Every structure is written in structure tokens, then in C-alpha cells.
Structure 1
Amino acid sequence: MSQTDSQHLRKGPLKYLLVFSAYSNFNKIFYINTKENPAVISCLHGLRVLSMTWVVWGHGYMFLLGVTKNVVGATVLVDEVIEQIIGNATFSVDSFFFMSGLLVAYGVMREHKRAGRVNWIMYYVHRFIRLAPPIALTAGAMATVARFALVGPYGPHVERGIVESCKNYWWADTLFCLPQCWYTGVDTQIYVILPLIFIPLLWRPKIGLPWMGIMTVVSFVIPTVIFAVYNAVPALFFAANDRVRGHLPEAVVSSERLPRRVLGGAADLQGVGQEEALLGWLLAALVACLVIFGVANYNTTDHPDLMPPAVSVIYGGFSRGAWALALLWVVFACHTGYGGPINTFLSHPSWQPLSRLTYTMFLTTIPVQFVYSGAVFLPLYLDHLNKIVETCGYLFIGGLLAILLSLMTEGPVLGLEKLLIRRPGRGEEPKKAE
């Protein structure tokens, strides 16, 4: 077929069928754009992939503890550095909250600049179209075919906990029957209220900027107050405390994650001086290290100290927002030319294909881990080398399933959305997606 015929098909009625082309959608996933585009925050590609790897690695320790034979003896294998990186892997999820808020704000601001307005109805419609189909297909697979792989001694346990949940409750809440979809639940709650922050900024910047500052402060204060009122401890993997953790209300989860989305939305990508850039990198590195390693005495398996209430409140209320501030500087510096080798690494074009698959990998890798725990017969022994090998396997198998899931849902659905729903100021959308 000639190029002219191909272009004719893309402009004719068959364009509605071409969006289902696995060949075209596969090429879009693995297309690598080597041209610099100032409209694209390219360092986010590397941040997404590294954050997803951290998520999967941390889940490897958490989800398979029930089938590990040396849980008690494995404590001697953990040193302080690795222990904190594993135990604080939850901050990798906060990285995604931050990036989500940043991209939502960036997209809204660009749409308002190009079209002079924002279609808030489509703001929510696009959200549902973007998230629901991959989740629905994954939940359907877990409710039907996954059970045939659960042939190991722990298979019935996994089937009762995951498969039956998707089978019985998908109709009530399609978005959240999968264990990992607590993230999409919290993210959606915050997504719903973000226009309350954006609208004043778009209409009256002189009012909107102070309003955003107030909301940023509030987003730190609310989780701090909740941690104090409920006498809770931060959700650390190894943390010891003389108080019962209990089940905090969902408001704690949502408000604790709010600073990441607000700070992501507050990013103002403009340049700074060389001295300020150096100081920014030093402060960002210091803050990130304090967040990960600052409570090592309490977050350890080797005779941990009891976490005092003051430490719980301060760390629980501010650590998530502090992590977002560190990431905010990384993105700010990399996008404004002060990233140096870090930007070269994070913005390398080779990250792009995997970056496009992080959402579907988020959906596929955890089911792979659960199925593995329900299918394995041999005793599993916890050590770091085994977990690294397992993580590579989860990423590979989950990645293959993520490609399939993207080809069956993301590519066709988003392609149809672009054809059927014309959004103002979105003529450059394909370029932005690179």
C-alpha cells in the first residue's frame, strides 16, 4: 500500500477501525523521539520507570511474606541502608502522585492558554476513559482465567483474597476491586477537587497564587492533625510502636497524599541562577535522604526503638510532602537546564517505551506477583538476590502483559476519544504524547 493510500484510509471512514490496529498501536508504544521538545517534561520518563521498578521491588518483599519460609531468620540479612529503601518503597507511589498532579496542572494550563478556557466536563470524562477500560479488563482476567494458574499450596488463599473479590464485587466498584487500585481511588478523589485550586489561578492569577499557597499549607496541616488526633504511626514497613496501628479512615489516606498532587500542580518551570541551582540540588538530596533514612532507628527489624508521638506526627505529616518537594526540584532543574548528568540520564529517549507502559504495568505486575505466590510449589527463602531475580521476572512478564493490555484497551480507547471528542486547543496532542 502506498503512502497516499495509507493517508486516504486514515482520513476516511476506516480511520475508526485503524485505531484498533495492533501494529499501529505497537509502533506508538515503542516509538522513540530523539528530538527535544520544550513542551515535553522529558525527565518524567526516567522517573516513571525507576519509580515503577521500586514499586515492584518493594511489593516483592511485602506480598510474598506469607509464602516465605525464613521470615524470622531473614531479619539478619537486612542492613540499615537496604532496610530503609525496602521499607520506604511506599514513597515510590508518592512519586506517581506528584507526577500525576504535575501533568494534570501542566495540561490544564496549556489547554487554557491555547483555547482560552478549560472543558471541565471533558476533564472528568477523559479521566474515566483513561483509567476504566484497562482496570475492567484486568479485573475480568483475575476473576476468570487467573484461578487456573493457582495450582500451588497457597492457591486457595490467593483465590479467596483476590479472585473471588474481583468475581463478586466488580459490578459494585469496577475501579477498585483490584488490590493496587487503592491508588486510583485516592488519586481520583484528589483529581476531583483539583479544579478548586486551578480555577482561581486561571481566572485571577493575583488571587490564584496566594490561594494555591494556602492550599499547599493546608495540605501539610491536615495529615499532621489527623496523625495527632488518631495517635497513629506512619505506614512504615518495619516501624515499631507501642500503639496499635489500627485502620485509619480513608480521609487519612487521601489527605496524606494531597501534598504530592498540590505540589505537583504548583510547579512553575522557570530558570534560576547557577548558585541557586547548586543549593537546590543539595537541599533536595538532603531532604530525600532524611525522608528515606531519617527514622532508621524506629523503622528496623533489629531491636527498633519505639517511635515517640512527636516523631510520628512530624514525620507522618510532613515526610510525604517533603518527598514531593525534592522531586519538584528534580523536575524543575532538569526541565530548565540545570539537571546536568541527572537530566541526561532521566531524559534519555530509551526510557520512553517503558514510560508509556507504566500504567498498564501498574495493573499487571501485582496480579503476576499474587499468581506466582499461589502457583509456586517450592519453599521460598527471603534474600536480596532472590528478590532482585524475582523483580526482574515480574517486570518482564508484567511488561509483556502490559503491552497486551495497552494494545487491547489504551490504544483503541484513546484513539477513538481523539476521533469522536474534539477538545479545544488539542491540535498538538500527538506531539505532546511523545
Structure 2
Amino acid sequence: MKTINSFFVFFLILFFFQSTFASEDCLAGIIAVFTNSTDPLDLQLSEATARKLGNYGDYDLCRELQAEKKARYCLLEGDMMYSPQIGICAPYVCNETSLAKAAKKLAPLLHIEVPGKIIADCSEPKKIDGGGIAYACVLCLIALFVVLGTSIQYFFIENRWVLFGEKHDAPQKEKQIQVNDNDEESSSLSGFVTSSSSLSESKPILKNENTKSKFESNPFSIFLLQFSLIKNLRRLNFYNPNSFHILDSIRTISMFWIVLGHQYEFLRFTTKRPEVFNQWVKEFPYQIIGGAEFAVDSFFFMSGFLVTYYIYKELKAKGKMNFLLYLVHRCLRLWPTMIFGILFAWKILYYMGSGPVFTTFQNRMDNTCKKYWWTDVLFINNYYPTDYESQCLGQLWYLANDFQMHFFTPLFVYVFIKSKKYSWILIGALFAGSFAYLISMTIIHNFPADPLTQDLDFHHLIYSKPYARLPAYLVGLCLALLLTYPKFQNLFTFKIKPLFRYAMYCAIFATTFALVFSTYGLMKSDGKSWNQAQNTIYVSFSKFFWAIAVGMIVFLALCNYGGPIKQILTHRVWAPLARLTYGVYVLHPSIIIWWIFNNRSSFFAYKIKMIWLYCAFLVFSYIASLIMNVMIESPFMNLEKLIFKRDKKKTN
């Protein structure tokens, strides 16, 4: 009753400020709604309007009235980041300006603090535009390619002994075909060439090999075969026993961790009771959530390790490297999934849903992606736009960093081949420069070590900048260079003394445990228990030591140490999951945000629900990535290999 009286007072006072509003009809209509009006429409408007901050009211009822041009659903919120919102079902004559002015004038009278200005959003859900239709048509065309390519491979190649009139009782499997799959898949987030591999498969073979299907030599059929589900699912499940399988498990587990961290990051600002999250993060087990940002450093480590390993092999084998081709390959590897991921969020999820805050999602995607999509494609989005909130897809900052680090890696490897001494001096100087930058920025801006209280300045100056994320990448680079020394040429038989080996096990456990859980006391004190020196040390060196720990895990596994844990982490089950990592990284934030903005009411968080939501987000992200992989990622990788393979033949 007290709440209703407050609202009555709110809108009664509103009457005395009517000269400041653009529409007196709007004012009169609002007063009628919140007084004891017996008008059926006023009662419906009152029923559909929220009574507390953080509530959205009855969105569906108000939208029904809006369809009849009797009401208008609006959201009131502050212009500060993550300001609380309230849903208002206003008379149809109202507009955004009148509602915003009313709320700003009268909020102090109701003892509501509103820093900055109040924004009223009365926009209606947008309908699909030409870009969305074009993107849908492209997806349908690609789906057609998948169907045709799969049909050609299954009917005219795999089973041609029946279709071409030469009947056999069963496929003859006495001969093995060596298929040069050239998987070229790395265990960095986005993937990179590591080495060629051959896949030995048993396939139906014609007794007369001269009766080769015309589909295997027709250019258009060859093009369609790159989209074949059979080909791409085999590639997804391919297991090369000579690969770095320990990286597959690290890659997959790190991706699981990132999804967990993003789930809590996004939901804690949209829940009905944010203080619940603030209490959870003070519990010891929940330090794992804040530690999820270390998973990104695992990817930087793997990226540095793999690209350095490949470039060294290339330069040692050929004595030179085509730098332009190296960059072209990198772009062609990243662009298809990235671009289709951007368009998926902007042009598909953008129209798939409704709800009180769904138009907020639509407006944000439309405004940011229209202006800045090209910065993602050019890998400069970690510098421009300077405001992280203005990026089209915020998670793509990693790809920009990764590309920029890859750009300079050939120089380090080239110097290493020419002079190991000067290369280590150069790498040491880069470590020193990065640490100096981290220390100075943390001291100047007094950045906290608590990952949940780090603001946009921290993200802009440290989190998204390559010179701040460089140490983890350089650790991977250093490990790859160390493995080129003669002493480590045959790692599988390399012996490590038991005492030293167990010391490494202890160091790995102590380092990872300390880095993740040392913030427990800090979180319990709301970030006040650490002084500036402690914050500076943690911010500046924690990611470096994390990469060192991951590097020791990789080194021990490559040396065939680790016992049962090594057997689990190198099992072949990780390989297909690892190949889906890039798609999951690009797509999962959009899936989580899409779910949030489709809610009809504020989200109420409790632990069991969060576990179920995490499982749902993870499964749907991997399903979406699987579809993306077989329709976009793998076919375009196949086409790239086909094009460069033919160009190579022409050159020769």
C-alpha cells in the first residue's frame, strides 16, 4: 500500500510540473492511470506498470494495448552503466522526452538518487531489414552447398561402385588411401598452421581405378565437396597421434572456464538482486569465477607456442618465409567465422526474440555494429573505438591482440635462427617493457587486483592491450624456441630426474592455486585488504606466472610424464571439442546476452539455477559452434587449402 501511495504522490506532483512537458495529454493520461480511475484502460495500464526499480511490469499486456494504439511500453533508466531499470506502460500519447523529464524532476522528491540524466526508451522491436534478409539468403545458399556436397560425396564417390554399374558385394578395403588431410589445426583459440598430417582411411575402392567418377575432376563438384558433411565431420573427429594433444585439453577446459566467467559477469548486472552475486564472490569456491580471465592467458601461451613452432620449422626447412602469405593465411583463417559470428549476432539473434529489454539489445547491436564492425575485421578493435562498450562484439578484442602478436613473431624467430644470444636479449627486453608498463599503469591509476571491480579504464589500458598481455604469449614463444635445442629434439625419451619432476608438480599446483584463490581475502574485504604494492604485484605478474605453470604442464606431458592425469588430458576425446573452440568463443557471449534480453522479468539468481544455466549455455554454444564449423569454418579452410595448393602447383 505504501508503494502505491508513493506512486500516487509521484504522479500527483507531476501535475504541478506540467509546463515542462512536451505533451499535456501524456501528463493527464498518467495521472488518470495512477489515481483511483475506474476506466478499464487506466486499470490495464496500471496493472502493466512496474512498482519497483528493477522490475519490468507486464510487458505482454502492454504490447497488446500498444498494438491497439492504446498504450506505449517504455523503460526508464539512468545513463550510467548498469543503471537499474523500471518498466512503464504509459498512455499512447506519451513520448520519451516527457517521461524522461518527469522522472528526473520528481526522483529527488521520492528520495531516489539518479546520477546523470534519465533516459526513456519507448522504441518498438525492429523488423528484419535488407541486411538480415541478405544474410539469411547467404546461409540458405551455404546450406544448399552442404546438401549438394554431402550428396555428391555419399552417392557418387563413397558408393560409386553401385551407381556406375560395376556391382560389388561389399566395398573392397584391402587397399588404404592416404588422404592428405593437412589438418593444420592448432590449439590456440583461433587456430593456426602447425604441421601437415596424413590421414589413413579405409574407403570403398574400385577394382578398376580408371573408372574415376567425373565428380572428382569437375571444378564445381570439387567446390561443393569442400562443404560435404562427411568430409568436414571426419576432419572434426580426426586424431593425429603425433600432434600436441595436451593442448587440446587445455584449450577445451579453458573455453569451459571462459563461458563460466562470462555467464556470471553478464548475469550479475541484470539480476533482480545484484547483492546476491556480491555475497557469492566472497565465498572461497567462487574465486574460480574471478580467475576465469587466466583462461585467456592460457590461449595466449598456446598461440605463442604454436605459431613460433611452425615458423621455426618453416624457416629451417626452406630458409625463407613468405610473410605476406603468412598474413593472408592468418586473415583467411579468422575472417569467415568472425564475420559470420558478427552477422549472426547482428542480423539473426537481433530479430529472434522480444521482451522488455530486447529493444535495448537491438539498439545496442545496431548502433555499435553499424559504426565499428570494420574495426573487428581489421583487428584494431582493441584500440578503436576507445570505449569498450562501443565495440560490435566485445569478445573479439582477443583476436586483435592475437593477430598483432602474430604479426611480429616471424621477426623473433628469424633473429633466433641468426643469433640465439641477441634473440634472448630482445625477448628479455620485451618482458621488461611489458612489466614496466603494467607496473606504471597500475600505480598511476590505482587499479585493483579484484577482477570483479576492475572498471572500463582497466580494460582499456591493460586488459585489452597487447603490450600488457604479451608476457603469456612470450612464455609460449620461449618454450617453442627451447624445444628447438638439440637436447630436446626427442622429448618422448627425455628424462627428468624424479626430484626435479616432483618439484615441478608442486610448483604447478602451488602457482595455479595461489593465483586463483589468493584473492579470497581481498574479495571478503570488498577489495580493501590489499595495499597498492600487493595490487601492483598481482596485476603485473600474475598472468606471467600462470603461463609459466601452463608451460610446465605442457613440457611434462610432451616428455611423457604425468601418469593418469596425462592420459586423461591427452585423450582423443578432447580433439573435436578443441576444434570447436573458436566458434564457441565467438558465439557464446551473444547466446548468453540474447537469453538475458529475452526475459520477461528480472532474473532471480540462485546457485542450482546458475549451474543449470551454465550447462545450457555451454551445450548451446557448442551446438552453434558445430553448425558454424561444418557450414562455415571447415568449408572455407578447405577452399583456402585448395586455392593455395593449386597456386603452388602452377608456380612449380
Identify the TM-score tier after normalising by the shorter chain: 0.7 to 0.9
- 1:372 corresponds to 2:600: no
1:361 alignment partner in structure 2: 584
Calculate the TM-score normalised by the size of structure 1. 0.87
- 1:126-141 pair list within 5 angstroms: 126-141=329-344
The equivalent position to 2:301 in structure 1, one of 78, 81, 98, is 98
- 1:307-326 pair list within 5 angstroms: 307-326=530-549
Are the structure 2 counterparts of residues 180 and 246 from structure 1 closer, same or farther at C-alpha, using a change threshold of 3 Å?
closer
Measure the CA separation in 1 of the matches of 2:599 and 2:370.
Answer: 23
Greater C-alpha radius of gyration: 2
Contact 1:357–1:406 (CA under 8 A) maintained in structure 2: yes
Contact 1:100–1:261 (CA under 8 A) maintained in structure 2: yes
- Give the counterpart letter for 1:397 in structure 2: F
SS at match of 2:523: coil
Measure the CA separation in 2 of the matches of 1:357 and 1:249.
Answer: 29
Which structure exhibits the higher relative contact order, with contacts defined as CA atoms closer than 8 Å and separated by 6 or more residues? 1
- 1:20 corresponds to 2:227: yes
Contact 2:447–2:458 (CA under 8 A) maintained in structure 1: no
- 1:30 corresponds to 2:233: no
Measure the CA separation in 1 of the matches of 2:458 and 2:557.
Answer: 39
2:518 alignment partner in structure 1: 294
The number of equivalent residue pairs is: 416
Deviates most, 146-155 or 226-235: 226-235
Are the structure 2 counterparts of residues 220 and 117 from structure 1 closer, same or farther at C-alpha, using a change threshold of 3 Å?
same
Tell me the CA shift for residue 162 of structure 1: 3.0
2:469 alignment partner in structure 1: 257
The equivalent position to 2:412 in structure 1, one of 188, 191, 197, is 197
Measure the CA separation in 2 of the matches of 1:10 and 1:259.
Answer: 48
- Give the counterpart letter for 2:318 in structure 1: A
Are the structure 2 counterparts of residues 6 and 147 from structure 1 closer, same or farther at C-alpha, using a change threshold of 3 Å?
farther
Measure the CA separation in 1 of the matches of 2:321 and 2:213.
Answer: 31
Measure the CA separation in 1 of the matches of 2:305 and 2:217.
Answer: 34
Are the structure 2 counterparts of residues 208 and 172 from structure 1 closer, same or farther at C-alpha, using a change threshold of 3 Å?
closer
1:352 alignment partner in structure 2: 575
- Give the counterpart letter for 2:269 in structure 1: G
Are the structure 2 counterparts of residues 401 and 161 from structure 1 closer, same or farther at C-alpha, using a change threshold of 3 Å?
same
Q: Structure 1: any 5+ residue segments left out of the alignment? A: 426-434
- 1:416-431 pair list within 5 angstroms: 416-422=639-645
The equivalent position to 1:266 in structure 2, one of 450, 469, 478, is 478
Contact 2:580–2:622 (CA under 8 A) maintained in structure 1: yes
Are the structure 2 counterparts of residues 237 and 76 from structure 1 closer, same or farther at C-alpha, using a change threshold of 3 Å?
closer
Tell me the CA shift for residue 89 of structure 1: 1.1
- Give the counterpart letter for 1:402 in structure 2: S
Deviates most, 372-381 or 358-367: 372-381
Are the structure 2 counterparts of residues 390 and 132 from structure 1 closer, same or farther at C-alpha, using a change threshold of 3 Å?
same
Measure the CA separation in 2 of the matches of 1:51 and 1:386.
Answer: 22
- Give the counterpart letter for 2:507 in structure 1: L
Q: CA RMSD in A?
A: 2.6
1:431 alignment partner in structure 2: none
- 1:136-175 pair list within 5 angstroms: 136-171=339-374, 173-174=376-377
1:52 alignment partner in structure 2: 255
Measure the CA separation in 2 of the matches of 1:10 and 1:183.
Answer: 40
Are the structure 2 counterparts of residues 206 and 8 from structure 1 closer, same or farther at C-alpha, using a change threshold of 3 Å?
farther
The equivalent position to 1:386 in structure 2, one of 598, 609, 632, is 609
Identical residues among aligned pairs (%)? 27
SS at match of 1:83: helix
2:502 alignment partner in structure 1: 278
Tell me the CA shift for residue 277 of structure 1: 1.5
Tell me the CA shift for residue 129 of structure 1: 0.6
Tell me the CA shift for residue 94 of structure 1: 1.2
Tell me the CA shift for residue 422 of structure 1: 4.4
Tell me the CA shift for residue 321 of structure 1: 0.5
Tell me the CA shift for residue 376 of structure 1: 2.0
- Give the counterpart letter for 2:241 in structure 1: E
Measure the CA separation in 2 of the matches of 1:313 and 1:223.
Answer: 8
- 1:108 corresponds to 2:311: yes
Contact 1:68–1:379 (CA under 8 A) maintained in structure 2: yes
Measure the CA separation in 1 of the matches of 2:285 and 2:363.
Answer: 33
Contact 2:233–2:630 (CA under 8 A) maintained in structure 1: yes
SS at match of 2:540: helix
SS at match of 1:307: coil
Contact 2:448–2:527 (CA under 8 A) maintained in structure 1: no
Contact 2:281–2:523 (CA under 8 A) maintained in structure 1: no
- 1:413 corresponds to 2:618: no
SS at match of 2:359: helix
Contact 1:46–1:351 (CA under 8 A) maintained in structure 2: yes
SS at match of 2:543: helix
The equivalent position to 2:627 in structure 1, one of 404, 408, 433, is 404
Calculate the TM-score normalised by the size of structure 2. 0.60
The equivalent position to 2:322 in structure 1, one of 95, 119, 127, is 119
1:428 alignment partner in structure 2: none
SS at match of 1:194: helix
Q: Structure 2: any 5+ residue segments left out of the alignment? A: 1-159, 162-204, 382-391, 489-493
Measure the CA separation in 2 of the matches of 1:8 and 1:338.
Answer: 50
The equivalent position to 2:398 in structure 1, one of 168, 179, 183, is 183
